[in-house]
Copies of this chain bind each other. A is one copy, B any other.
């Protein structure tokens, strides 16, 4: 289908990895095709703010065509991959269309893993797509609406309880943002309930929250969350997600809003190409990001199991995906144009951050750390800078400023059906 000459590079997924790879190949010799199931690149690190009604979907999503519009050698296709024929070197889309390739880049991200419990997925919402965020927002706000008119005290208590499963950055940031929504933005809106009574429980199976961060930053985040009224249950694995709540051992916490941030699993890209994968479904890659069994196929971001020089697996972070995409794009460009070998990828830690509500964030730069107000300021500046377009940088800055001054959430709309479950299909592919 591609109508530009040159070696054909097919990139699947326009997340941080796929997009960076495409950009590095822009206006060069290769003929590039980028496939994504959405027409936009989603800035996932701020997705939780769409769920808590602070931002609108358009603030964190940018049309892919707009980003790559000036790259005449890049074609964009909105579609879903059904399978890959590695022998014939073509990808088949759900629509039936076939796209041939010389090189294939897999950047299809990850989805939440409910450990095989399909029913949990209906009850505990994940947060990977715009749809997820809208649905979660609807569920949160609808619970308040129902609590306002509920006469049974037990049921009202369940409506006024939110359980977050998983104490990673998503769980921590969501817990802080929900606490501020209930304690600031919604105050005065309801006459028969006090939104400050919302019970927010963060459940973590491991010993402490933010286990990917140094212990002192994790402890700081826990203190800040507790000050916002969040209850942290660490060392408490979830045994079941039931219709009316979460079961931890013999205890059942009754809750109408359950948010899932526990297990993550790579998309099915490994199955498509028959590549060796780890337990989370990530494709094992060589240091140059090529797939072990296929030298013309590459995996980046959450799709790849990539180890650093000390043998540690790189985590599923936006900055890892972005650096890998950029590295691979440049490497492929040099190989296609000059025949250079692909160099090994080296990750540079630009700072791993989590926000814990207004005026507080933790950032781990490896060598040094930042927390509190200056961490929060740095986080804000970096995230605004990382947004793709000038328009969204302006829009997000203004909305944050507005919210900082007025304490009001901007986008408190129930605009989706809160009853349906979370999507497990990966965000990109």
Contact = CB atoms under 8 A, between A and B. Distances in A.
Interface of A: 1, 3, 38-40, 56-59, 61, 63, 65-66, 69-70, 72, 75, 77-78, 97, 130-131, 134, 141-142, 145, 148-149, 188-192, 391, 394-395, 398, 402, 406, 408, 410-415
A175 to B, nearest CB: 23
Contact of A391 (B58, B78, B408): B408
A78 B38 contact: no
A413 B63 contact: yes
Given A57-B415, A391-B402, A78 B145 contact: yes
B69 A149 contact: no
26 contacts: A1-B149, A38-B414, A39-B141, A39-B145, A39-B413, A39-B414, A40-B413, A56-B57, A57-B413, A57-B415, A58-B411, A61-B413, A61-B415, A63-B189, A63-B413, A66-B408, A69-B188, A75-B192, A77-B148, A78-B145, A78-B414, A130-B413, A130-B415, A134-B415, A391-B408, A394-B398
Contacts of A412: 39-40, 63, 66
A158 B323 CA distance: 42
A423 to B, nearest CB: 12
Contacts of A38: 413-414
A9 to B, nearest CB: 16
Given A39-B412, A69-B188, A78-B142, 7 more contacts: A56-B57, A61-B413, A66-B189, A66-B408, A75-B192, A78-B145, A134-B415
A69 B78 CA distance: 43
B57 A191 contact: no
A39 B409 CA distance: 14
A192 B413 CA distance: 38
Nearest to A42: B413
Contacts of A56: 56-59, 411
B415 A97 contact: no
Given A77-B149, A97-B149, A191 B413 contact: no
Contact of A65 (B78, B190, B395): B190
A25 B26 CA distance: 61
Nearest to A93: B149
A408 B391 CA distance: 10
A413 B148 CA distance: 34
Nearest to A50: B58
Contacts of A131: 415
Contacts of A411: 56-58
Contact of A191 (B61, B75, B130, B189): B75
B410 A58 contact: yes
Contacts of A192: 3, 75
A371 to B, nearest CB: 31
A239 to B, nearest CB: 32
